[in-house]
Amino acid sequence: MAEHVDPPIDDDAIHAYFSQVRPWEKTEREEHFRNYDTAPEHVKEFYQQNHGHQTYQFVVDTEEHYSARESRTLAMSMMDMLVISGELRDASDPDNDHPQIVHALQSALSVRMEGGPEWLEVTALVHDVGKLLGTPILAEDPKNPREPLPQWAVVGDTFPVGVQFSEKIVFPQFFDDDPEGKWMGNPDTNNPDFNTPTGIYEEHTGLDNVKISYSHDGYLRAVLEGECRLPKAAMDMIGYHSLYPVHREGAYQQLLHPDDRKAISAAIGFNKHDLYSKNHHIPDEHETIDLLNHYKPILEDYFPHLLHW
């Protein structure tokens, strides 16, 4: 295990660092990412399924079957799950179709190249490990075998459920039934309790009290809570980095609590090393192995015990 001196991590300093990012100002480079106007057809099909199936009840049920501690009985290391999740190709990504391990390494290296703190480099490396939900690994759990989830329940942008769907969610038309019968919308649009600006929630209840569409984000955060050496800012990055309607588009302000400002600024700032770290350098097999060997003792330091998946 790598020797490591735990540095003081000041949440206010982290917030100040990420607050320098202006979330709604795109550079010319950034315009090349998340362009859904020219997205491949499979991306549109993904969001059609995602928006049609991600109901409030689906989220509640899936959290119980996959995220709840009593359901997570497969004990494996973070390194093992990094490699396993790295095989998945994200069907929601309009930018590329590389295996997930490429994105993980590019994200981590972008932090290292900027001289960022080690905890942030680790966060960047593992932030998408929850995508293992879309692989067969959980079906191998002898105590509680679980089938792989369809990608519409694993990847893609996330959004609050139990409340009116925002027009700022990508492809918002897929929440409604198609007038020509090409697709069925989300059944929650027919529930009057869900179709107000605050839905079933109290105004400014805070993100921790809002159900978010099920994905790898919330799943990995549940796995790591209280089980690793990452600071709260890292957990917010992991849990909310796909919540683009909120942290990128500014939707659902009526649900946010003042305490959420740090979580939102962390998620916004993390985009620099997540979305915008995609580049043309694809690590080959030799480089990938070298990097994984480099990160193995570091991961053992931040995740010293087997985790329950």
pTM of the entire predicted model: 0.90
d(CA 273, CA 112) in angstroms, rounded, equals 10
Contact between residue 282 and residue 101 where contact means Cβ atoms under 8 Å apart: no
Q: What is the pLDDT of residue 119?
A: 96
Find where tokens 């905890």 sit.
119
Of 140, 145, 196, 169, nearest in space to 51 by CA: 169
Single-letter amino acid, residue 147: E
Q: Crossing angle of helices 118-126/100-113, nearest 10°?
A: 170
Q: What is the pLDDT of residue 92?
A: 81
Non-local (6+) Cβ contacts of 31 within 8 A are: none
Q: What is the pLDDT of residue 31?
A: 53
Contact between residue 162 and residue 248 where contact means Cβ atoms under 8 Å apart: no
d(CA 265, CA 248) in angstroms, rounded, equals 10
Q: What is the pLDDT of residue 18?
A: 52
CA distances from 282 to 99, 104, 156 (A): 10, 11, 22
Q: What is the pLDDT of residue 63?
A: 98
Q: What is the pLDDT of residues 184-213, one digit of tens each?
A: 999 999 999 999 999 999 999 999 999 999
Find where tokens 């089938």 sit.
147
Q: What is the pLDDT of residues 34-51, one digit of tens each?
A: 777 778 898 999 999 999
List Cβ<8 Å contacts ≥24 apart for 114-120: 116/273, 117/7, 118/4, 118/298, 119/7, 119/9, 119/229, 119/230, 119/231, 119/234, 119/302, 120/234, 120/273
- Mean pLDDT of residues grouped by 10 in the chain (309 residues)? 46 55 44 70 94 98 98 98 94 77 93 92 97 97 98 97 98 96 96 98 98 98 97 95 94 96 89 68 90 98 98
